Structure 1
Amino acid sequence: MAEREQELEWVERMAMFCAAEYAVPPIAGRILGWLMICDPPEQSAGQIAEAIGASKASLATNMRVLADAGFVRRRTRPGERTSYYRVDDDAWDTVIRRRVAGLAEFRDLAADGIGLAGAGSGRAERLRVAHDVYDWMTKLLTETPRPAKGKTK
């Protein structure tokens, strides 16, 4: 299989993962996948649209979704009207930190629910199970040292 075909196959796998895991349209996953492997790392909307076979209109909408989530950053170059997009190295830290904050918020919400339900009640037990899982995940992700940059398994 040609290199370009392999890249597009990988981009499609990323699209399906993002659709399932993050509940975003597949086009958003394709954009993210493409920006993760493209060269040069900064691409215009036209370059991205051509690479993944998308319309510029759907690209613009989904680019906002990715930017709002912290995955993609828009940049301009002096003297040019074209915007360029890229996945910044700190995107993954930003996304995970937001997820951890969400876990902690749900844990705290469950703790409030336990208080409302009465600590010893059956209703509280359902909340306690959720609280304990989210507390464990929050602690795991905040107390575990971050892997060294550039290390893969």
Structure 2
Amino acid sequence: MTKPAPDVDRDQVLDWVERVSMYLAQDGVPPIAGRVLGWLMICDPPEQSAGQIAEAIGASRASLTTNLRMLTTMGFVGRHTRPGERTVYHRIVEGASEKVIRRQIAGIASFCDITADGLALLGPDSARAARIREAHQAFEWMAKAFENAPPITPGTQE
């Protein structure tokens, strides 16, 4: 992970973190989770305690705990301890972005199976199936577009 330049203004860093949060919010990611992810992408050191994260992004510990759990479940954030310490540190999981994206792509293909079943149930050309047909065409197009996508970096493909 590249460290921010030492002379980067803290307000500029937090503005960038907020941009990450607002981008992810477009897809339903809660703002606190987006801020946590943005902070863990740019912070130094790359491992941070819940207290450090809460202080940096201005979140309550309760909200932070919920959002860290969600990001951990999604596969973006890992938890680590250090020998002799009770503090849990959080950091971005190496290769997490590609793994999460590939899991989403697999989900697109799975939804194509569901829409295909819906078309078979109603008849592929029936008026009643128009909404299913539209979704099926869009998801099928996306699945085909990503079907043979190469790995982002060698050695991270599952």
Deviation per CA, 1:55-114: give whole Å up to 9, x if none. 212111110111111111111122211000011221112211221122112111100000
Give the letter for the 2:116 counterpart: A
1:43 aligns with 2:53: no
2:64 corresponds to which of 59, 68, 78 = 59
What residue is the counterpart of 1:93 in the other structure? 98
Counterpart-to-counterpart distance in 1, 2:144 and 2:46: 34
Counterpart-to-counterpart distance in 1, 2:59 and 2:131: 45
Q: Where do 5+ consecutive residues of structure 1 fail to align?
A: none
What residue is the counterpart of 2:21 in the other structure? 15
Contact 2:98 2:152 in 1 (8 A): no
- With over 3 angstroms needed to count, the CA separation of the structure-2 counterparts of 1:142 and 1:77, relative to structure 1, is farther
Q: What's the TM-score once normalised by structure 1's chain length?
A: 0.88
What residue is the counterpart of 2:4 in the other structure? none
Give the letter for the 2:16 counterpart: W
User: What is the root-mean-square deviation of aligned Cα atoms in Å?
Assistant: 1.8
Counterpart-to-counterpart distance in 1, 2:32 and 2:132: 36
Q: What's the TM-score once normalised by structure 2's chain length?
A: 0.85
Give the letter for the 1:109 counterpart: I
Give the letter for the 1:19 counterpart: A
1:5 corresponds to which of 11, 31, 36 = 11
Counterpart-to-counterpart distance in 2, 1:119 and 1:54: 50
Give the letter for the 1:95 counterpart: V
Counterpart-to-counterpart distance in 1, 2:53 and 2:131: 46
1:144 aligns with 2:146: no
Deviation per CA, 1:2-29: give whole Å up to 9, x if none. 62111000111111112222x1321111
Q: Where do 5+ consecutive residues of structure 2 fail to align?
A: 1-7
| Number of residue equivalences | 148
Contact 2:75 2:93 in 1 (8 A): no
